[in-house]
Each structure stands twice: as C-alpha cells, then as structure tokens.
Amino acid sequence: MSTLLILLPSHPPQSGNGAQDYEYWFSHDAQAPAHARGHGQRAQLAAMPRADRVMALIGDDAVSWLPAQLPKVKGAKLRGAIVGVMEDQLLEDAERLHFALLDSPDEDGRTHWVAVTAREPLRAHLAAFEAAGLLVESLLPLSWPQAAMSGYVSAGADDRPRLRVSRADGVATLPLDSGGLRGWLGEDWWTGAAVSASPSAAAVAEQWLGRPVRVLNDTDRAWAARQAPVNLLQFDLTPRQRGWQRIHQAWQTLQSPAWRPFRWGVIGLIAVQVIGLNAMAWQQGRAIDARKAEQEALLRQSFPQVRVIRDARAQMLRETEALRGGAGQVGPGDLEDLLAAVARATPPGEGPLPGLRFEPGRLQLSGLTPPQRAQLRERLGQDPALRVAEDGDSLQVTLRPENR
C-alpha cells in the first residue's frame, strides 16, 4: 500500500496552485523510505507520486495544545463550545483559528486537549492539495500530549538547540539552554523520559541530558507521526466524501502487511466454499443423472417398443395411459372419474344436472342456479384432488396437475 507524507511549510503557498516546493516522503509498501541523510524529497504538489494514502504533517511550531473542559455536545455546537470555553486563552480572533480535539479526554472525562493552529494558511495548503488532485485523508501533528513522557531535541533555525517536550500535562518547546529547565521538567522526566534527537543535535542532547539519546532523523520522525491519535481535519475542514474515504481507508488498511494473515484466511475460506459448492453440485448432478438413467431403464424394460427417449417420465405416463385406455379401465381425469366426484358432492334428492360437457381432463357443468353453483363449488372444493373454477353460470372441474 503506497503512502505519501507531505510536510506543510509554516507559511501559506504564494499561489493557490501549489507552485511552491513541499518536503515529502513516499513509500511503495507502507515501510519507512530510506532517503539520504534522513531528509525527505522536495517537489511541487503536481509532480509528487500518486499514492493510495496521502497524509499531511504539521510542524511543531505551527500548532499549540491547550486544555479545555468541554460540555457534552456534538456536531456543529462543539466548535462553538470550544470557542466559548477557550476565549480567554486565545491570543487571536477565534475566527482566524482552527481547532481540533484529541481523541481521548483526560481522566475526568471532560478535560480535552485542543489543538489550535492558524486557519488561513492551513486552508490555503489544503486548497493547493485539492487543485493538484491529492486527496488528503488526515492532517497529523509531529507531537501531542501523551501519558508516556518523551522529548525531541532539534538544532533549531538559529542553531540554538530546542527541546520539544510531550507529557500528560501538555506540549511545549523550550530552548535547551533555558535556566531551571531541569527543575521544571522534574526528576521523573529527566531520568525516565524517552528522549530522541536529530542527528545534528544528538551530541548536544546527550551532553545536556547525561545519558544516550535515540537518533531520529526527519524521515523517522515523519513516519512515526502516522501513529498520532488525532486527525486535525475536523469541523469545517473535515474532508468531503467522508464515508467513501473511510471505506477507502479501511480497504487500504486491509492491504497492509499486518493484515496479510487475515487476507490469506479470507482467500482460503472463499476457496474452500467454492470447492465445496462445486463438489456438492457435482454430487447433485451425479444423483440426477443416476435418477434419469433409472427412469430410462424402467421405461425400456416396461415398454420395449419405445425407441427414442426424450422425457422418460412423460413418455411413461403416455404409454401407461394408452394401456389403461386399451384395457377399458377408468383413470384419473376421465369422464367417469369426474362424474363420480360430482355425484359425491351433489346433495341427496337433487335432480339431474342440466348440462354437461366433457373434454379430456375437464368437465363443464352448466345451467345451474346460483345457489346450486355455490353449494356444488363448496363441496367439490373440499376434494384436494380437484380444481374448481366458476365461468359465468357454469363450473369447470379438473384434476390438479399433481394428481394427474
């Protein structure tokens, strides 16, 4: 499953068509790409490779994390509740800011971490992505508040090392040479936090901390951001066609190596079902062929004069009817059989039937009065072997197909 990560610059694009270069990372198989010196490649949006999943990254200096106790509201009212609760903490007009909630609240269930970033630069970047035909499924931060204490040391634009601290009580960026930094961080963080550093700042970080740190280049850090528990594309920046996007994401997730055993299991199950259905169909076909062969053998044995067999059952019925007729015996659907059924249904003392007409398999009774018709139809209808239909002032009596 191919993946494309794009880092958003801190400044908006100069034009709405994505003409500026963006740093990006591309992988064909969802594994971290290996670029020289750990940096991503740079290209205009239109020139970037097409990928199954496109995710944007926002830098640490472009997003702030603020705590807020929010009421239990959802939908469009939630953003208004955020603005109302955080109004005193904001340094800019709320209409110029974009908000996003971390997926999990604090222990009290009401205190949420809210990501705050400038709205217009973000909207300009997203518009440039859309113009370039890139469907961004998520916007991910490089760091976020989390229970596991961690830190990342970078060289900084002015070559003054900076520490990005992530703790359960928030996220902050501080100069490494700030006075009292160790006391602010606390001994638990100082001795137990997982600290990483860029290659250019690793030596300074180890000297400052007094213990080894993990070297994490730009590629490694960008790839680790895919595990962020929050998608900052929320509220008015929620991607359109969200339902289809979720289906697409689920499909792409199933394509990942972690789901390979599941995919093989589904393929195996389908194969077993197909093989089983084919085997059952083959057995049913064999049983039908055997039954046809038995019918044909019985027909040849009973009626040797039949030379060509097309429908053994129908031919057997015709030959049996011919023998019965030749012997003068009454069979189902004959005049005598149908008259006997009418006689059984006729009340005692009734006069002769006014009119009779017989065709092979059908007896028509005519000239009946409405009461006679109704009474006779009711009584004949109680015979499960007969079918009775009313046609004007007459009754049609026939045998049901299964009794012929």
Shared domain for 320 and 395, answered yes or no, is: no
Per-residue pLDDT of the chain (404 residues; tens, 9 = 90+): 789 999 998 777 765 444 788 999 998 876 777 664 567 889 999 899 988 889 999 999 899 999 888 888 777 788 888 888 888 788 788 888 999 998 655 555 567 899 999 999 999 999 999 888 888 989 999 999 988 899 999 987 777 899 999 988 889 998 988 878 888 888 989 999 999 999 999 999 999 999 999 999 989 999 999 989 999 999 888 876 555 555 666 676 677 677 888 888 989 999 999 999 999 999 999 999 898 888 888 888 888 888 788 888 888 877 877 776 666 665 666 777 777 878 888 877 776 777 888 777 788 888 878 888 888 888 888 888 788 888 777 888 887 766 55
pTM (2 decimals)? 0.58
- 238 and 136 in contact (C-beta within 8 Å)? no
Shared domain for 209 and 287, answered yes or no, is: no
Domain range enclosing 306: 259-329
Shared domain for 18 and 101, answered yes or no, is: yes
φ, ψ for residue 43, nearest 5 deg:
-165, 165
Shared domain for 8 and 136, answered yes or no, is: yes
Torsion of CA 257, 262, 264, 269, to 10 degrees: -170
Q: Is residue 222 part of a domain?
A: no
Shared domain for 128 and 155, answered yes or no, is: no
Shared domain for 13 and 139, answered yes or no, is: yes
Q: Is residue 223 part of a domain?
A: no
The rounded distance, in Å, linking the Cα atoms of 279 and 289 is 15
Number of domains in the chain: 4
Shared domain for 167 and 285, answered yes or no, is: no
Q: Note the Cα 297 to chain centre separation in Å.
A: 55
Shared domain for 281 and 356, answered yes or no, is: no
Shared domain for 325 and 347, answered yes or no, is: no
